[in-house]
Amino acid sequence: MAKRKTKFVCQECGYETPKWMGKCPGCHQWNTLVEEMSAPAVSRHVFQTNSSTQAKPEKINSIQSQKEPRLPTDMPELNRVLGGGIVAGSLVLIGGDPGIGKSTLLLQVSAQIANKQLPVLYISGEESSRQTKLRAERLNITSEELYVLSETNLQDVITQIDSINPSFVVIDSIQTIFKEDVTSAPGSVSQVRECTSQLMRIAKSKGIPIFIVGHVTKEGSIAGPRLLEHMVDAVLYFEGERHHTFRILRSVKNRFGSTHEMGIFEMKEKGLEEVLNPSEIFLEERSQGAAGSIVVASMEGTRPVLVEIQALISPTAFGNPRRMATGLDHNRVPLLMAVLEKRAGLLLQNQDAYVKVAGGVKLDEPAVDLAVAISIASSFRDQASNPHDVVVGEVGLTGEVRRVARIEQRVQEAAKLGFKRVIIPNKNLDGWTPPSSIEVIGVNTVQEAMNLTLGDR
């Protein structure tokens, strides 16, 4: 009988080594190596198969393409994030902070599919069946085709999937599922990798869409090896503050649709409800005539969203001024302040800067640069910008305003919400016709944009 050997596996990146080390050579994290038992080597003849059953290469022109069948839910927001609905045989990973609403969302989706007379299996490894029933009663879920199973053994889970043959499966969560022949504890790198691989084979072979819930680390990324995100077909992040009602479902990977799509939900007493007009929600509490505030038209996937960017500039009381950003890349704020100081003549080197995206939204596209710069200049001068203006544009290091993508959708969203004027890069003026209800002005530099938004009105 082959002898089992011990190995040390990094719980962050999956790096394996025969001896313990304080610092992982793979991800350079400290105290992440955990001892595990390695499986005995399997002789090569076990993997020998009949050559007649092996897959053979095909010419790409001879392969018949077909549209992936999708199972739409009753949530258009979720359908858009997934690319049009749930794809048969897909494996989707959803992560988020504890208590953010992952289980609530998936239980509501399970009930919607079960209401279409399709069997659904909801597997909870963290709660008992009675706890899941209590949540279902709170959400008014009474579907006859919704089956609940409280189990953590992967083999028992597979047995129930074969028995029920469901049309949709939820695993809550993957860190609680274990495989008996893997000696490490549930939630370890080896267990997560092996269980996910087995679930992926079931999804592909039986054509059953499987949603798995993943815990997140304190940095906000999904716990476990990075390999987990590569194995699945789609990765969704459920974001938002626990003490606020709005939740954002964001797609960061999707093999069946566009990435960086975003869906907005609101947590209410009877579950999550969709927010069909997020721009109006994000701007409803905006203060009129306040210095340091400007509205930007950002693109979240294929959807334009208007959000408010706020800035507070105040003299520093320390040797090194502070630069803080919420909802933006923190490296972007000092860069734009340097451009304003060099190209617009604003003395900001002795000023603390605090920049925030109102509403808890995270913006990572360069098209918000001009709005951030205008809000900083507005707060520094203590001069309010025009409340009916929307600003869009990327700012270069020489102070120029560069073109952005999908300008038509951004301007149409601003016009729909009643804004009177939108300031865009001058290079974006050609090739399209703006709506008649809004004035579109092109600028070439940051100084021109500042003169328009902060000048005398």
Q: Tell me: is residue 289 an annotated ligand-binding position.
A: no
Q: Tell me: is residue 97 an annotated ligand-binding position.
A: yes
Q: Tell me: is residue 98 an annotated ligand-binding position.
A: yes
Q: Tell me: is residue 374 an annotated ligand-binding position.
A: no
Q: Tell me: is residue 321 an annotated ligand-binding position.
A: no
CA atoms within 13 A on the CB side of 223: 21
Q: Tell me: is residue 60 an annotated ligand-binding position.
A: no
CB burial string 270-304: b at 16+ within 10 A, e below? ebbeebeebbebbbeeeeeeebbbbbbbbbbbebb
How far is residue 16 from each of residues 30, 34, 225, 318, 446, measured CA to CA in Å?
14, 10, 12, 46, 51
How far is C-alpha 382 from the geometric centre of its chain's CA atoms?
A: 35
CB-based contacts of 138, cutoff 8 Å, min separation 6: 270, 271
* Cβ neighbours of 107 (radius 10 Å): 26
Candidates 247, 238, 183, 185; CA nearest to 216 is 238
Q: Tell me: is residue 101 an annotated ligand-binding position.
A: yes
Q: Tell me: is residue 164 an annotated ligand-binding position.
A: no
What does the chain come to in residues?
457
**Structure tokens that stand for 47 in this block:** 């993997």
CB-based contacts of 5, cutoff 8 Å, min separation 6: 18, 37, 38
Candidates 231, 210, 354, 338; CA nearest to 293 is 354
Give dist(CA 354, CA 351) in Å, integer.
10
Binding residue positions for ATP: 96-103
Binding residue positions: 96-103
